[in-house]
Each structure stands twice: as structure tokens, then as C-alpha cells.
Amino acid sequence: MIKVGIAGGTGYTGVELLRLLSVHPQVTLQVVTSRTDAGTPVCQIYPSLRGFVDLPFTHPDQALLEKCDLVFFATPNGIAMQQARSLLDAGVKVIDLAADFRLTDIATWEKWYGMTHACPDLVTEAVYGLPEVNRAQIESARLVANPGCYPTAVQLGFIPLLEAGVIDTDSLIADAKSGVSGAGRKGEIGNLFAEAGDNFKAYGVAGHRHLPEIRQGLQRATGGKEIGLTFVPHLTPMIRGIHATLYGRLKRDIDLQALFEERYAKEPFVDVMPSGSQPDTRSVRGSNFCRLAVHQPQGSDTVVVLSVIDNLVKGAAGQALQNMNIMFGVAENTALNNIALLP
């Protein structure tokens, strides 16, 4: 059995990890930490876990995380980098669901996240946990940087086109929409029902923290070529889901449907839908799938890719569990075969 700890179990990604891990046949949950709810049974905060998770929350100062085989950090940015080294030295593998180890350029990370990195040397060791790109490296990794939600949806949509070299890399556009759970469980006026309901707005137009992460991933797909990307996120009046509409200019004719189907033919959690499809967010709600559809409107030189994921599953906890399965040689789809919730 894999002994698992979760640092920061009260947020939305934390409870999603608990939901998925509680039914994993090869996992034993050892400890779930929380500063504010220490001593409180997990199922008292989240009644949905009654009968599945019997642990209480443990204060981080009293949690024996070093006794685990793997620790998930479902904590705010800046926490995992403070504790990763001691856990790795104790032989514990780490998956960070925040952004501490995603960007390879430390100066860029410090600029976007507004703090000094505590362990820049570990950034070079960390493996970016997008299985569709880095599966082989994830298998042998001690430290995995779980991708962000927007970066997952955008990269999976653009990667086949960039790897094949069929689109202009100077003028990519990612127009993405997310449900309010992407902002986390903290109380903020903009996330109140009366503010977000019956409303739709863009945010982070001048620059969003996920922009450098997306650029980094897309640049890798081109072999290092510079990427010109306009990324605009939007907040939608729904709880879960990301819909990314991606635009690129084709440099030559190619069978786009065949390109996508061949690229993801062996990927268990990427579904390339039939030609002409328009995937919606509820088709992936609660599941670890990314559903893609590729279009060439009016036969022009513009390619449009539609990419949908559940931001809390394939965009966070589900992908983290997928990475754990790979790291421990477990079948990749273990505890992740659930079908999307509909309606």
C-alpha cells in the first residue's frame, strides 16, 4: 500500500484529492493537515466523505509527513518549497499542486509570484507533471510540479499543432473560461453568488500567473522556439469546468482530425471528439478527461481548438493522482475511471 499524506486538505483541491484517494485500492491515507480545523474530523467539514475518510485534520506542526511514501501539497503558493527538501531527504516523494516548482526560470517565478524562492536548486530536479508530455520522466521522479488548470487545457489543445510545426508560433490566442472554484475556497467578494451568478467577465487581461507556465510548455513543444501568446481568462457563473477556445494560423494544409487522433491515440484521459464536435464542460465534470475538438472554420487558414476539462480534476487533483499512479508503477487510470456527472 502507498502511504499518502495531504498537506492542506480543506480547500477544493484538497477535498477533491480526498474524494479520489479514498477509493484508491492501493492507497492508505495517513494524515491530512489543516491549521484552522486541526482536530476536527474530515467528514464533519465535508459530509460527502462520511464512511470514506475517518481521519481528523492534523495541525501541520504535529503531522508526521515524513512517515508517508508520498505527500500531496494542496496548499497556497510558497508553502511546498519550504518543506519539500526535508521530505525528499526522508525518502518521501512530493507532488505539489501549487506553482512552486512549475517554472524553470527562477527570476520569472519570483516576478509573477512576488516572493523569493526558498529552494531554487530543487526546481531543476522537479518534473513538470503533464503525463501526455513527460510520462517517462514522471515515472522516476521524486518531485513533481502538478500543472495549473488553464495551462493543462491550453497545452493539450496546442501541443499537436506545435509538435507538427503546422501553425505560426507568433500569434497564438487562448480565450479561456473557468468556473468560480478555480479561485479556491477563500472568501472574496468577487466569488460571492450575488457577484458571480448571472454574470460573465474577463480578468487578468494585463497578465495572469499562468501565462509564463503556458508559454514555457508550448515552447518545449516547439523545441525551444519563442512563443507569441495572448491569453485572456474569464470567470463564468458555474462551479466547475474550464473551456479554452484556442486559435492559430496554419502554415500548410494538413488533416487536422488525423493529427489530433494520432497524437492522443494512446492517452487514457484525452478524448479527441469526432469532426465537427463542440465539447461542453459538463461532459467532463467530475472526471479526469480532457475533451478536444479541432475545427477549420470556412476552410480558412485559421485553426480553432476547443478544449474542456474539470479544473479540479484534470486541472488539479485528478492529474496529481494520475502522476502518483505513474510514479509508483500503478495502472494510470486507477481510481480515475469515473464517468462525468450529467446533468
* Sign of the dihedral defined by the CA atoms of residues 176, 181, 182, 186, in that order: positive
Concatenating the DSSP letter of every residue in 29-77 gives EEEEE-STTTTSBHHHH-GGGTTT--PBEE-GGG--GGGSSEEEE-S-T
User: How far is Cα 151 from Cα 76, in angstroms, rounded to an integer?
Assistant: 17
User: What H or E segment, with its residue span, contains residue 178?
Assistant: strand 172-178
User: How far is Cα 148 from Cα 81, in angstroms, rounded to an integer?
Assistant: 16
DSSP 287: S
| Residue 71 and residue 144 in contact, taking contact as beta carbons nearer than 8 Å | no
| Residue 246 and residue 260 in contact, taking contact as beta carbons nearer than 8 Å | no
Query: Of the listed 68, 119, 149, 290, which one is catalytic?
Result: 149
Is 149 one of the catalytic residues? Answer: yes
Half-sphere exposure of 12 (CA within 13 A, CB side): 18
User: How far is Cα 341 from Cα 343, in angstroms, rounded to an integer?
Assistant: 6
| Residue 317 and residue 16 in contact, taking contact as beta carbons nearer than 8 Å | yes
Amino acid at 4: V
User: How far is Cα 281 from Cα 291, in angstroms, rounded to an integer?
Assistant: 9
* Catalytic residue annotation: 149
